[in-house]
Amino acid sequence: MELRTLRYFVAVAEELHFGRAAARLHMSQPPLSRAIKQLEAEAGALLFTRSPAGVALTPVGAVLLDEARALLDQAERLRLRVSAAAGGATITIGILGDGTDPGTTRLAAAFRESHPGVDVRVRDTDLTDPTCGLRAGLVDVALTRAPFDETALTVRGLRTDPVGAVLRADDPLARREHLRLADLAGRRWFQFPQGTDPVWQSYWNGGEPREGPVVRVVQECLQAVLWNGTIGLAPLGHDLPANLAVVPLVDMAPSRVVVAWNDGDTNPLIRSFVGIATAAYHP
């Protein structure tokens, strides 16, 4: 069985549709169908059932899928290790948010173990660009938070975190067990600079226009709360200074930790990073 044919098989198994799999593989459907039929002949069994309702894996196909994924991952690791040994293998990661997040810590350790010879470059970004420089070509992959404009990007969710309002500890609302967005009506909120992704800005403003100081980094946001009584927002579970408090917002959608990369980027290190990140955030 050739690795290329196994890649074809995995694409069909994941899409459960020959047309979509062909488009994903950037090939036409007839040679894809022929390759799968040849693979079935080599296996001596049907790998898919085909019907007007669609395509489904057979029990034999399900076994092959697990083995094919493992074999392809092993082949990719071998390729990356050889490339790293030859020099020049690099990946630039954009990170937005708290670098001490346990998920990030596990990800860094696992990636170093899998790719000891790869030069990892990290770009720590501020709150004005949730894509961490992806669109500008400054990074290969971003570890960030959604929502933001996902045009021309591929985004995979890693974790969801409830969000709370950050208040001064002496604020009367800080004594509440939870809040709703309506409880914060009329209060000043932090803003991002003009030109910031409007989807991102809208989320962190609770879905409607607000007035307040312009900030670029987390510390500026916290200082705006401390000095001006501004409303801040933060995922729950993050450490805050003793003079600040965070109260859960029960009607605010959770913040999603995601990994994102540019559509069509075939860098195998990115695929490996995404797989390791998924495992690191779901230990």
Residue 262 has pLDDT above 80, yes or no: yes
Give the domain ranges of the chain.
3-84, 88-160+256-280, 163-253
Mean pLDDT of 263-267: 85
Cα angle value 204/205/207 (rounded, 5°): 105
More confident residue, 81 or 186: 186
CATH topology of domain 88-160+256-280: D-Maltodextrin-Binding Protein; domain 2 (3.40.190)
Amino acid identity of 17?
Answer: H
Q: Under a CB-based contact definition with an 8 Å cutoff, are residues 164 and 248 in contact?
A: yes
Q: Under a CB-based contact definition with an 8 Å cutoff, are residues 77 and 243 in contact?
A: no
Q: Using alpha carbons only, how large is the chain's radius of gyration in Å?
A: 23
Reference 167, options 226, 107, 82; nearest CA is: 226
Span of 67-76, 226-235, 256-265 with lowest mean pLDDT? 67-76
Q: Express each pLDDT in 28-52 by its tens digit.
A: 889 999 999 999 999 999 999 988 8
Residue with tokens 């933060």: 234
Q: Look up the pTM and report it.
A: 0.68
Residue with tokens 């579970």: 237
- Identify the bridge partners of residue 164 per DSSP, sorted by sequence position: 234, 248
Query: What CATH number does domain 3-84 carry, 3.40.50.2300, 3.40.50.980, 1.10.10.10, 2.60.200.20?
Result: 1.10.10.10
